Every structure is written in C-alpha cells, then in structure tokens.
C-alpha cells in the first residue's frame, strides 16, 4: 500500500512538472499558448476598465473635423488655406502650446483655379500687366504655400505613416520623411528590434520643410485580436530611427528635452531588448517593451478628451479656456472618414484619441510598465502555484474547488493592485491558466484513481453490504479503505438454536434449501438496515454497522435489525411447517463500542472483518440468550447508544474471558410502541431487581413470583427465583456487587 501511495505521489509530481514546464515555455516565449495569450489580453482589458480614472483629462484637446465642420466648409479635403487659417487661429487667438496633425498631407493641393491659370499662361500671349495679375492670382490660389507659411516657427507636428509591406510595383515612398530621431550611425552598440517600415507616406516636402517636427501614427504591433493596446514610440526605416506622433508632440510640448534609452545594468550589459527598461524624456520616464511599444494609458471611453469643432475655431466661437496652453491634436470623428479603431474601452474608438491618451500619459505619467524582471517573478509564481495546487488536489473536492477559486481571485486582484498602486502590468493569465489546468488534471487523476479504488471496494464490499450502501459508497467523499482502523461500531451475532438436531433430521438437499431460505430474509433485514455481512458460519450470521461507511446511528440500526430478524423468522414458520421442516428459533446478541475493522487474513485469503473485545462480547451475548430464555440480548453500551427502544434489564454479568462486569438487556420494542401492560411489567421487574441487588430476598421473591404467575414463559423470572433460593441458604455477603459470573460460552 505504501508503494502504491509513493507511485501515486510520483505520478502527481510528474503531472505538476509537465504542466508547469509548458507554462514556463509560454512565459519565456519559447512555446506560445495562444489561448493563454488571449486570456491575458482579456484580463488586461478588464483591469484597464476597472481602473479608469474618474476625472476627465484637460491637457490635450482634440480639434475635430466633424460633420458640423464638413457641412459648413464642404467635403474633405479642404483647401489648404482653410487649414492655414485654423493653425493661425489656434496659436494667435487661442494661445495653444502645440498642434499635432493625425493627418498626412502627402501631395500638393491641386486647386482648379491653379490649373486654369496654367492653361491661360500656356495658351495666351499675355501683356506684362496681365502677367502680373495672373501671378497675383496664382499666389492667392497656391494654398500649399499659405499652409506652409502658417507652420513656420510654430510647435506643429505633422503626421505620416510607415507601410508594413509593399504591393508589387508599389512605390517605396511618397512625400518626404523628417530628419530621423537617430541616424544609423548614431545607434552604435544599440541592438533593439525596432519595427521596420517597408515604405512610407509622408508630408509634401514644402510642408515638411516648414514644420517643426513630424511623427508616424501607423501601428504595426496591433494585437492579434485587432485591439489597440500598445503603440510603438519608435520605428526604423533603412537603419534610421523615427519618432511617433505622440512622442514627437509630447516632446515638443515639453520644450524638446533630451531623449535617452534606459537599460538595466548598462555597465557591460548588452544594449538589447532584454535589458531595455524604457525611455528617459527629460525628467519623465516612459516605460516601453523590447520593441519600443508603450501601453496606451486610456483615460476613459471615447469622448474622454475635450472636443472642439474646426468650424468653431475658424469662427472664433470655441471656448478659449479649453484651448489655452493646451496640446491640440487635429483629427476626425466624421463617420465618412472612417478613422475608427477597436480598443479595450470601445470597439469604435476615434483614432486620434489613441494619440491623445499617449500624449497625456507621457506628459502626466500613468503609463503602465512591464519590466523585464516580471518574467522572473512570473516563473517563481508558477512554481508556487504548482505546489499549492498539488496540495489542494489532495483535499476533498468541495474544499479543493473553493481553494482554487480563492487562489484565482487572489492572483487577479494581485494584478489589479499592481496596476492601480504601482503602474505595473503584471501578467496573470499564465498563473491562472496553470492553476486551473493543473487542478483539473490532478483532480481528474484523483477521480480516476478514486473511481478505480471505489469500483474495487464496491466489488469487494458488494459481497457484504446492500446495493444502497454500495451506491452510497460510490457517491461518498468519505475516505474508504480496506486497511485496518479503529472505529466506534456495533456488531451482531445470530445463531440457530439446536441446529445439530435440526440438521440430523434432514437430508443434505433439504438442509441446504432450508439454510438458503432462512439466511435470505435474515440477510435482507441486515441490508435494509445498513448493515455489513461479515460472514456466515454455518447456521450463524455475523454482521456489523459503521463500516465501510461511518454510521452515527450504528447502534440503533443494529437493534432494529435484530428485532426484525426475529420477526422475519416468525413469518417463515408457516412456510417451514408446510414443507415438514422443524421450527427454527434464533438467538441474537449485539454490542457497541470500539473495534478494529479492515481487510484481514493471510496471503492466501483475506476478509473484511472486525476484531476486538467489543466483538467478543457481542458473541458471548448471543450465547447468553439460551441462559435467560430470550431471543435478543444487547449490552448496556448498545442500550445507551440506542435510547429509541425500551429494554428489559436482564442481569449484570461477567462473561467468560472478561473480568469487567456488563449489564445486559433484552430489547422490547420502540419506546412509542410499548403498551401500558408492558410498562407495568417492566416497572415491576425494575423493583424486583432493586430488591434482589439489595439482598431483600423476601421482597424480591414476592415481586418475581407475581411476575412468574402472570408471565410463565419468561424464563428469566424463574431463573432469578432459583438464584434467590440459593442466596437465602448461602448469603453472598455484604460486599456482593450483584454480578453473576458465567463460566461457559
């Protein structure tokens, strides 16, 4: 048995190691479990939504190309002089700090008037005066120059995009890229896996020369489910490194502080993604991952930032308090322009707000970090979880499941605490996945082992116990074992009176038939009262209660069984008589107390049985039934444990092989079934016993004589009259304890 337990523990350990190893490889990125990754994304979104701030941000304002503006100014794109007027108004009339365009101006604006002027110059011979007029008109309608003029000397950041891939024959670039943030010759030993653009669509060169900065707003690192959770702050193109729109806008708004990479252990350690911790922008730290992605610190659902319509800026009706000294991002919410993104806080989120959230986070803090050391912490947590789950799987199912639920909740809220209190993005899906997966596997193993064990036990116990108990055994969570243990139980013995004489009067076939028809109802009664058949010993039956399943009412069930066995046998007598078989009477003895129960025997044969002094006394009590002329005797221990019955005290005896005296009783009936005449008889008998034990022989004789005359069939009364006669001739002495010693079984 110890070897089996050791094998079971080794197998559990193997399960734990194997499952934990799979999640180890996932955490280290060597073997990606997409389901776990998706759960991590869901939990990330849940934490983000649970921790959204109550106050709406005011540092970034979105000037919106909305339906109202399009309705008044005409369809998009507008003439560039309209944009120039907007930029002039934002800086001159509203005093904004910085303006960023979530728009690409990749080509010159081809006004129809300019086309007409070009045609006139090509087709007509113009005088000097006419040429001057046309030149003036050209200057008026060349809105690109007007727009470029509005950008010069102002904190304006233009937008552009990098292409992830190029179609066949697609041009590599359109427009003009800005000066890189870092040239390839400036990177030195820097070995970071920047996202690499295959091509670009950048601003028209006239505008690029005029603007202070530019930044890309493409995102090659959108999560696999299409949700914008992280945005790269830098991308590379042909070896040079460029800044994102959000980083460029925030940096310009802060006065263009120095921007540096921050590495863990920079002295001698490789300057790679494994050691990268973030970016240092002046006094502000910006946490990023190995690919320079920053987690978008969403401040709320769509509309969290103030919106101002472009047309209100142009008309001078916008709120100056909203715009003054603010960072302005120009984008569009008009449905026809389709600048919508899926985010953790909304499936239809206006794209410019993603940049607004990032700019706000860079300038005001609150960016969540996923430091590299978190991987090591996660690996340690996985080991701890494997140990905890292995212990939980050994508990009963209800406790184990409760422990699992508590552990999962604890892991989730640990992640939420790190998010809210320390701005840490603590991954929890692998830990939760390991806890659930390992518990289910360990539980499945336990269930398989227990099912096999219970099937074996059911097969074994099915020979001794009723089908109802077999079903209870299968459904019970109680630990059931064939190994020996000590329990409080009840045992019952029954034996046929004068069986030798009966067997001599029948031929073998008839004797076998009689025994089968006698033992069948006796066994049925024991089974119906939750008893376990220990063995048949010829004409004798041994049964016990309280094993293999615990039974708090084992004494009650044993007494009920004993009484019903006698009733069942009485009901058989007419049938036996009709077959010419002799009348059968049985003696029944029951005792309750501690006894050893288990599978006992030799290497050749085993039996599930009970042993101990309690069992021996039960056997002796059955033998005493003949001495007292009753069919059923129980010990004082059974009588006390089953108070639902009325008993007739028979004696205080020492049985053969025991020195301690015990009081013995005859069960009469359930308390509620005892008649008035029976109560009178029992009361008289109690008086007689009291007189007898007080050595008041005259009083005892008088009372018992009256009982004998009324109940001649009660052998016990006559027995006491005989004892009184002996004691009257030979008094037992003052130290007599009233105990009668039996010298035979």
* Helices 143-151 and 80-88, packing angle to 10 deg: 20
Instruction: Give the pLDDT score at 169.
Output: 86
Instruction: Give the pLDDT score at 160.
Output: 96
- Whether the per-residue pLDDT at 467 is higher than 70: the answer is no
- Give the whole-number percent of the chain exceeding pLDDT 70: 88
Instruction: Give the pLDDT score at 110.
Output: 60
* 333-347, 370-384, 666-680: which is most confident: 666-680
- Give the whole-number percent of the chain exceeding pLDDT 90: 58
Please give the average per-residue pLDDT across 263-275, as a whole number.
79
Instruction: Give the pLDDT score at 8.
Output: 66
Instruction: Give the pLDDT score at 648.
Output: 96
Q: What is the pLDDT of residues 231-266, one digit of tens each?
A: 999 999 999 999 999 999 999 999 999 999 998 876
Q: What is the pLDDT of residues 145-195, one digit of tens each?
A: 889 999 999 999 999 999 999 988 889 999 999 999 999 988 888 889 999
The beta strand positions in 429-530, using DSSP E, are 485-496
* Helices 508-528 and 467-475, packing angle to 10 deg: 40
Bridge partners of residue 101, in order along the sequence: 330
Instruction: Give the pLDDT score at 108.
Output: 81
Q: What is the pLDDT of residues 691-734, one digit of tens each?
A: 999 999 999 999 999 999 999 889 999 999 999 999 999 998 88
- Whether the per-residue pLDDT at 311 is higher than 70: the answer is yes
Q: What is the pLDDT of residues 629-638, one digit of tens each?
A: 999 999 999 9
Residue keyed to tokens 């069984």: 561
Please give the average per-residue pLDDT across 275-293, as a whole number.
93
Cα(144)–Cα(153) distance, integer angstroms: 16
- Whether the per-residue pLDDT at 744 is higher than 80: the answer is no
Please give the average per-residue pLDDT across 732-737, as a whole number.
87
- Whether the per-residue pLDDT at 134 is higher than 60: the answer is no
Please give the average per-residue pLDDT across 478-487, as a whole number.
66
- Whether the per-residue pLDDT at 470 is higher than 90: the answer is no
Q: Mean pLDDT across the chain, nearest whole number?
A: 87
- Whether the per-residue pLDDT at 425 is higher than 80: the answer is yes
Instruction: Give the pLDDT score at 333.
Output: 87
- Whether the per-residue pLDDT at 374 is higher than 90: the answer is no
Bridge partners of residue 216, in order along the sequence: 160, 244
- Among 92-106, 196-210, 473-487, 655-669, which is the least confidently predicted range? 473-487
Structure tokens at 443: 């539980």
The pTM of this model reads: 0.64
When comparing pLDDT for 632 and 737, which is higher?
632
Instruction: Give the pLDDT score at 603.
Output: 63
Which of 672, 664, 679, 666 has the alpha carbon at shortest distance from 644?
672
Instruction: Give the pLDDT score at 132.
Output: 58
Instruction: Give the pLDDT score at 5.
Output: 63
- Whether the per-residue pLDDT at 451 is higher than 70: the answer is no
Residue keyed to tokens 């319509």: 309
Instruction: Give the pLDDT score at 485.
Output: 83
Cα(552)–Cα(175) distance, integer angstroms: 89
77 upstream amide cis, omega within 30 of 0:
yes
Let me know: does 174 contact 105? Beta carbons within 8 Å: no
Instruction: Give the pLDDT score at 294.
Output: 95
* 279-283, 347-351, 737-741: which is most confident: 279-283
Please give the average per-residue pLDDT across 58-84, as a whole number.
91
When comparing pLDDT for 124 and 408, which is higher?
408
Instruction: Give the pLDDT score at 73.
Output: 92
Let me know: does 84 contact 150? Beta carbons within 8 Å: yes
Q: Where are the domains of the chain?
A: 2-32+373-453, 60-364, 466-669, 675-745
Q: Please give the radius of gyration of the chain, using alpha carbons only, rounded to the nearest integer.
A: 48
Q: What is the pLDDT of residues 666-675, one digit of tens each?
A: 999 999 999 9
Cα(322)–Cα(320) distance, integer angstroms: 5
Pick the CATH number of 466-669 from 3.40.1000.10, 3.40.50.460, 3.30.70.1230, 3.40.50.150: 3.30.70.1230
Q: What is the pLDDT of residues 612-621, one digit of tens each?
A: 999 999 999 9
Please give the average per-residue pLDDT across 356-360, as a whole number.
96
- Whether the per-residue pLDDT at 404 is higher than 60: the answer is yes
Please give the average per-residue pLDDT across 419-441, as a whole number.
91
Let me know: does 632 contact 568? Beta carbons within 8 Å: no
Q: What is the pLDDT of residues 375-394, one digit of tens each?
A: 888 999 999 999 998 888 87
User: Phi and psi (nearest 5°) for 730?
Assistant: -130, 85
370: pLDDT confidence band, cut at 50, 70 and 90?
A: confident
**Full DSSP string of 591-639:** EEEEEEEEEEE-SS-EEEEEESHHHHHHHHHHHHHHHHT-SEEEEHHHH
Cα(554)–Cα(559) distance, integer angstroms: 9
Cα(401)–Cα(395) distance, integer angstroms: 9
Instruction: Give the pLDDT score at 1.
Output: 46
Please give the average per-residue pLDDT across 71-87, as a whole number.
91
Residue 59: burial class (beta carbons within 10 Å; 0-12, 13-18, 19+): middle
């Amino acid at each position: 048995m110890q070897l089996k337990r050791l094998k079971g523990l080794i197998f559990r350990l193997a399960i734990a190691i194997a499952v934990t190893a799979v999640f180890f490889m996932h955490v280290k990125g060597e073997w990606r479990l997409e389901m776990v990754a998706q759960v991590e994304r869901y939990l990330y979104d849940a934490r983000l939504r649970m921790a959204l701030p109550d106050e709406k941000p005011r540092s970034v304002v979105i000037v919106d190309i909305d339906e109202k503006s399009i309705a008044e100014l005409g369809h998009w794109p507008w003439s560039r002089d309209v944009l120039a007027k907007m930029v002039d108004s934002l800086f001159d009339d509203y005093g904004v700090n910085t303006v960023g365009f979530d728009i690409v101006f990749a080509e010159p604006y081809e006004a129809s008037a300019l086309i007409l002027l070009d045609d006139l110059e090509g087709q007509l011979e113009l005088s000097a005066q006419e040429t001057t007029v046309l030149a003036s008109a050209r200057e008026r309608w060349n809105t690109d120059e007007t727009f470029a003029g509005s950008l010069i000397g102002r904190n304006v950041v233009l937008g552009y995009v990098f292409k992830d891939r190029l179609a066949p024959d697609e041009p590599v670039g359109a427009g003009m890229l800005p000066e890189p943030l870092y040239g390839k010759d400036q990177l030195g030993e820097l070995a970071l896996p920047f996202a690499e653009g295959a091509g670009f669509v950048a601003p028209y060169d006239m505008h690029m020369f005029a603007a202070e900065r530019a930044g890309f707003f493409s995102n090659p690192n959108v999560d696999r489910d299409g949700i914008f959770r992280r945005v790269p702050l830098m991308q590379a193109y042909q070896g040079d490194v460029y800044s994102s729109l959000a980083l460029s806008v925030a940096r310009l708004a802060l006065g263009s502080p120095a921007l540096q990479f921050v590495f863990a252990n920079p002295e001698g350690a490789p300057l790679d993604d494994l050691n990268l911790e973030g970016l240092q922008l002046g006094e502000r730290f910006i946490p990023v991952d190995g690919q320079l992605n920053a987690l978008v610190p969403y401040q709320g659902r769509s509309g969290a930032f103030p919106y101002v319509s472009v047309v209100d800026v142009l008309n001078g009706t916008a709120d100056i308090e909203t715009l003054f000294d603010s960072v302005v991002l120009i984008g569009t919410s008009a449905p026809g322009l389709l600048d919508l993104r899926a985010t953790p806080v909304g499936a239809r989120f206006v794209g410019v707000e993603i940049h607004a959230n990032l700019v706000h986070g860079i300038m005001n803090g609150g960016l969540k970090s996923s430091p590299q050391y978190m991987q090591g912490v996660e690996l340690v947590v996985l080991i701890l979880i494997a140990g905890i789950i292995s212990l939980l799987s050994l508990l009963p199912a209800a406790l184990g499941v409760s422990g699992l639920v508590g552990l999962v909740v604890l892991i989730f809220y640990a992640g939420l605490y790190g998010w809210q209190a320390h701005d840490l993005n603590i991954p929890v899906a692998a830990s939760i996945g390991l806890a659930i997966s390992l518990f289910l596997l360990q539980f499945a193993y336990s269930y398989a082992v227990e099912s096999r064990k219970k099937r074996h036990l059911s097969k074994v116990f099915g020979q001794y116990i009723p089908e109802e108990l077999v079903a209870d055994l299968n459904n019970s969570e109680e630990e059931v074992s064939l190994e020996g243990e000590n329990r409080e139980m009840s045992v019952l013995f029954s034996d046929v009176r004068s069986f030798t004489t009966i067997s001599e009067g029948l031929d073998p076939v008839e004797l076998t038939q009689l025994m089968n028809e006698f033992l069948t109802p006796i066994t049925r009664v024991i089974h119906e009262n939750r008893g376990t058949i220990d063995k048949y010993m010829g004409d004798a039956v041994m049964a016990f209660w309280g094993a293999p399943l615990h039974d708090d009412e084992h004494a009650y069930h044993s007494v009920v069984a004993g009484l019903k066995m006698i009733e069942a046998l009485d009901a058989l007598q007419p049938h036996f008589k009709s077959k010419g078989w002799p009348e059968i009477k049985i003696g029944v003895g029951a005792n309750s107390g501690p006894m050893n129960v288990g599978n006992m025997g030799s290497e050749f044969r085993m039996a599930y049985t009970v042993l101990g002094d309690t069992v021996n006394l039960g056997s002796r009590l059955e033998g005493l039934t003949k001495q007292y002329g009753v069919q059923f005797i129980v010990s004082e221990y059974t009588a006390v444990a089953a108070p639902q019955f009325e008993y007739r005290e028979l004696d205080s005896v020492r049985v053969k092989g025991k020195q301690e005296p015990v009081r013995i009783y005859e069960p009469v009936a359930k308390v509620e079934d005892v008649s008035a005449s029976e109560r009178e008889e029992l009361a008289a008998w109690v008086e007689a016993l009291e007189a007898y034990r007080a050595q008041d022989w005259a009083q005892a004789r008088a009372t018992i004589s009256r009982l004998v005359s009324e109940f001649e069939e009660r052998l016990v009364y006559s027995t006491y009259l005989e004892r009184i006669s002996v004691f009257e001739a030979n008094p037992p002495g003052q130290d007599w304890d009233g105990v009668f010693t039996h010298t035979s079984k």
